[in-house]
Structure 1
């Protein structure tokens, strides 16, 4: 159980950091929020993978994705969050 939590945090940090690099504009979010975006992105990536490929039905509809799926899901989550939060994005 501890290994699962640690791996979720590590994958969340990696996926969230890469998503922040790939998303346009500046995001003023903390490291814990970056990890949370990555973790939520992992589940969004797993959900999108389930919808697209219809695999791993025994794991259920919500499942964690691999690192590529996690990054894609984190980019989606970050874009939705920045668009709906009402914050303005500063362009560099």
Structure 2
């Protein structure tokens, strides 16, 4: 369980680094998005047939990071916070 949370935090942090702009997300939000992203990546990898949902192999890891990047973008859209400022 602790390994799953650490992997989620790493995946969430990678997603925030990949996503352009500044995200106003807390550490808990990063952890949550990383855990959800790793679950999504694991499920997709399992459906494809490359491994188990609980084993994060290379394809599952890449898919988890991609899913987390999409989740970070979605969280920005929902909260209305974006790293881009409008020029007036």
Smaller-chain TM-score bracket: 0.7 to 0.9
Which consecutive segments of 4 or more residues in structure 1 shift more than 4 A? none
Question: Could you tell me the TM-score, scaled by structure 2's length?
Answer: 0.73
Tell me what 1:84 maps to: 78
Q: Partner residue of 1:19?
A: 15
Indicate yes or no: 2:28 matched with 1:32.
yes
TM-score (norm. length: structure 1): 0.70
Gaps of 5+ in 2: none
Shift of residue 12 of structure 1? 0.7
Q: What's 1:73 paired with?
A: 67
How large is the RMSD of aligned CA atoms in angstroms?
A: 2.4
- Report the secondary structure of 1:90's partner residue: coil
Q: 5+ unaligned residues in a row in structure 1: which ranges?
A: none
